[in-house]
Amino acid sequence: MEGNGTTKFAGLGLGLGSVLGVALLTLCCLTSCTKDEGSVTAYCSQLRRVPPLASVLTGFADEDPGQLSARLDDASASYARLAKEAPSEVRGDTEDTVALVDAVIAGVSDHGDDPEAAASAVRKAVKEHPDAAAAAAKVSAYAADKCKVVLNPTVPAGAGPTTTGPVTSDDGLTTTSG
């Protein structure tokens, strides 16, 4: 203790108030500098890894329950990472879209052996997420603009899908089917 009632730390000549002030300033800097939103690069990278929901759900009623559960869990984790990586300008829309995806996955997971019950759960999920379609359209527009990825491409009637994964076109856009 010094004569003025302060403790000197490690011979630095700093009083307790100064040390606490520096600690508080450091904490504030660290928390304000931590990543609380994703980058466009990380988001676009994750967007290319997220499986199309249609491919995740295709044939669910005929799949081994353990394999289905693992596939649904993997897809859910992938969509969660997408929401985590979302930049602020598309974060809310991504979170709204992922919330619907999670509800759809939960409905299928809960009724994996009953396609009618699963379909009913999916319809209920869609009704409970009325803003998801608009949010998904915004995510799709963002993906095309910033990531050069076309989500949910339109396929002419009767054409059917020709690929099962991402394809890069001549104009540099990556298309995902599903």
pLDDT for 64-113, tens place per residue? 999 999 999 999 999 999 999 999 999 999 999 999 999 999 999 999 99
> 149: closest CA among 74, 78, 49, 54?
49
The pLDDT, as a whole number, for residue 67 is 94
Q: Is residue 26 part of a domain?
A: no
Q: Which residues is 1 bridged to in the sheet? A: none
Beta bridge partners of 167: 175
Residue 88 belongs to what domain range? 40-147
Four-CA torsion 71, 117, 104, 136, nearest 10 degrees: 130
Task: Provide the pLDDT for residue 59.
Answer: 92
Q: How confident is the model at residue 28 (pLDDT cuts 50, 70, 90)?
A: very low
Tokens encoding 87: 């930049």
Check residue 117 and give its pLDDT.
Answer: 95
% of the chain at pLDDT higher than 90: 62
Q: Which is higher by pLDDT, 14 or 117?
A: 117
Instruction: Give the C-alpha separation, 54 to 171, whole Å.
Output: 25
Q: What pLDDT score does 173 carry?
A: 54
- Whether residue 168 is contained in a domain is answered as no
Q: Whole-angstrom Cα distance, residue 174 to residue 48?
A: 8
Percent of the chain whose predicted confidence (pLDDT) is above 70: 65
CA distance 78 to 53: 11
Q: What is the domain count for the chain?
A: 1
106: in domain: yes
CB 178 within 8 A of CB 55: yes
Domain for residue 102, yes or no? yes
pTM value is 0.67
Residue 170: the pLDDT is 52
- Per-residue pLDDT at 176: 53
Tell me if 158 is assigned to some domain: no
Q: Is residue 169 part of a domain?
A: no
- DSSP-assigned beta bridge partners for residue 149: 174
CB atoms within 10 A of CB 52: 18
Residue for token pair 């939960």 = 106
